[in-house]
């Protein structure tokens, strides 16, 4: 009996050893300038990291991926997300195109057209359609040595301030923090814009660098922004595509075809996973802010329209700047606004008029 048991144990050990020998490990880095508590980073973990090896195993692949997860600015900061992909500092990662208006202007088209839609699903569908149909959008990623998998789309941008806001005049002379292309939204209101990233917002308000922030609730709640900016005014400036999930092209091309075949569809799940997290966080975040003493209000519709009309013509400026680069920006803007309206958007300002 002991001999049989020993033989069986040996057979199991040999079988396990053989299986181990047949498995090949691929080491990949996935990174972000922001921590995984942020929706667009968590969406990466919930898709490619969580599902890749299970899918490879289900396909009978000999490959397994060992992920080096480097979030929260461990490898690079928010100003260098596309460079990190381009230079291979990370193999996969989140790219904040809102900080790249010069390198990736087409990805920032929604920042040139605020007050267009509050629906993140609608925004995502329009952006993905543009990516599929317009080669100019595809070139922006290819020129950065990046393989694009999906859009990062926000909930609608709102206003977080140290003071109450019931009319535009309340913003006059105030310092408003925002990230990159969002800064133009504060122009025309008598406020000054201070460029900053989410990780710096809390301290900047606490130390007096800013008086308020234009930000999405799903990004504001995790950093407890309402503690230092307790007046939360729902202006509904728009749900926008502000980044994407991508891979370094050289690394991607070097992966075995069967690995790419498994990873690609999982990576494309990123957009919807991000939206689901955002919508859930927005709802729960509103409840949390209320329970923790935030003073939440909605800017009157007349004042919201005043805000949209008071802004400089950001769409025209965007078109003119990109036409000089040889991009058919006027046609792109016209097609984009038409696609938005066709999808059900009701813009507070017709950005394609007067281009």
Q: In the sheet that 24-31 helps form, which strands lie side by side, from edge to edge?
A: 63-70, 24-31, 92-95, 241-248, 146-153
Tokens 């040139």 correspond to what residue? 112
Does residue 151 contact residue 124 with C-beta atoms inside 8 Å?
yes
Provide mean pLDDT across the span 297-308: 95
Tokens 């230092």 correspond to what residue? 228
DSSP states along 227-280: GT--EEEE------EEEEEEEEHHHHHHS-HHHHHHHHHHHTTHHHHHHHHHHH
pTM recorded for the entire structure: 0.84
Which residue, among 269, 342, 332, has the nearest Cα to 133 in the 3D structure? 332
Q: Give CA 162 to chain center in angstroms.
A: 26
- The 3-state DSSP class for residue 303 equals helix
Task: Quote the pLDDT of residue 181.
Answer: 74
Q: Give CA 108 to chain center in angstroms.
A: 11
Where residue 21 falls among pLDDT bands split at 50, 70, 90?
Answer: low
Q: Which residues sit opposite 31 in a β-bridge?
A: 70, 93
Which residue, among 76, 111, 51, has the nearest Cα to 273 in the 3D structure? 51
Residues 92-137 have pLDDT tens digits of 999 999 889 899 999 999 999 999 999 999 999 999 999 999 999 9
Contacts of residue 133, defined as CB under 8 A and 6 or more positions apart, other chains included, come to none
Task: Quote the pLDDT of residue 338.
Answer: 95
Does residue 336 contact residue 347 with C-beta atoms inside 8 Å?
no
What is the CATH topology of the domain spanning 23-153+240-281? D-Maltodextrin-Binding Protein; domain 2 (3.40.190)
Six token digits for residue 351: 């950005």
Tokens 């038409």 correspond to what residue? 338
Provide mean pLDDT across the span 173-179: 92
Sorted by where each begins, the domain ranges of the chain are: 23-153+240-281
Report the helix count and the strand count for the chain, using DSSP H and E. Answer: 14, 11
Where residue 38 falls among pLDDT bands split at 50, 70, 90?
Answer: confident
Residues 282-297 have pLDDT tens digits of 889 899 999 999 999 9
- The 3-state DSSP class for residue 173 equals coil
Does residue 225 contact residue 213 with C-beta atoms inside 8 Å?
yes
Element (H, E) at 87: none
Contacts of residue 62, defined as CB under 8 A and 6 or more positions apart, other chains included, come to 22, 23, 24
Tokens 């059900």 correspond to what residue? 344
Does residue 97 contact residue 82 with C-beta atoms inside 8 Å?
yes
Q: Which residues sit opposite 297 in a β-bridge?
A: 233
Does residue 97 contact residue 246 with C-beta atoms inside 8 Å?
no
Statement: residue 205 has pLDDT above 90 = yes
Statement: residue 5 has pLDDT above 60 = no
Task: Quote the pLDDT of residue 9.
Answer: 47
Q: Which residues sit opposite 295 in a β-bridge?
A: 231
Question: Roughly what angle, to the nearest 10 degrees, separates helices 329-342 and 120-133?
Answer: 140
**Could you give the CA distance from residue 106 to residue 97 in angstroms, rounded to a whole number?**
9
């Amino acid at each position: 009996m002991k001999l049989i048991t020993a033989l069986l144990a040996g057979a199991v050990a040999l079988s396990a050893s053989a299986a181990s020998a047949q498995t090949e490990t691929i080491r990949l880095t996935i990174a972000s300038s922001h921590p995984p508590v942020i929706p667009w980073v968590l969406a990466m973990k919930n898709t490619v990291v969580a599902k890749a090896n299970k899918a490879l195993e289900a396909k009978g692949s000999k490959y397994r991926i060992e992920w080096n997860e480097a979030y929260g600015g461990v490898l690079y900061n928010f100003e260098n997300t596309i460079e990190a992909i381009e230079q291979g500092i990370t193999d996969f990662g989140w790219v904040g195109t809102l900080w790249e208006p010069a390198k990736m202007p087409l990805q920032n088209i929604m920042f040139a057209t605020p007050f267009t839609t509050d629906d993140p699903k609608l925004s995502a569908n329009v952006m993905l359609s543009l990516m599929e149909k317009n080669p100019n959008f595809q070139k922006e990623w290819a020129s950065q040595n990046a393989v694009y998998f999906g859009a990062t789309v926000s909930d609608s941008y709102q206003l977080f301030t140290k003071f109450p806001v019931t009319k535009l005049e309340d913003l006059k002379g105030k310092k408003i923090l925002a990230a990159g292309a969002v800064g133009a939204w504060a122009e025309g209101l008598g406020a000054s814009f201070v460029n900053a990233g989410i990780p710096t917002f809390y301290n900047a308000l606490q130390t007096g660098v800013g008086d308020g922030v234009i930000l999405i609730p799903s990004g504001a709640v995790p950093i407890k922004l309402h503690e230092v900016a307790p007046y939360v005014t729902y202006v509904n400036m728009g749900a926008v595509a502000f980044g994407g999930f991508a891979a370094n092209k050289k690394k991607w091309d070097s992966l075995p075809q069967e690995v790419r075949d498994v990873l690609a569809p999982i990576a494309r799940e990123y957009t919807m996973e991000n939206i689901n997290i955002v919508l859930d966080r927005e709802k729960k975040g509103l409840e949390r802010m209320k329970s923790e003493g935030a003073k939440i209000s909605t800017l009157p519709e007349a004042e919201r329209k005043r805000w949209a009309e008071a802004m400089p013509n950001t769409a025209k400026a965007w078109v003119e700047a990109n036409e000089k680069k040889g991009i058919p920006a006027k046609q792109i803007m016209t097609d984009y606004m038409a696609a938005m309206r066709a999808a059900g958007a009701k813009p507070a300002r017709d950005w394609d008029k007067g281009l």
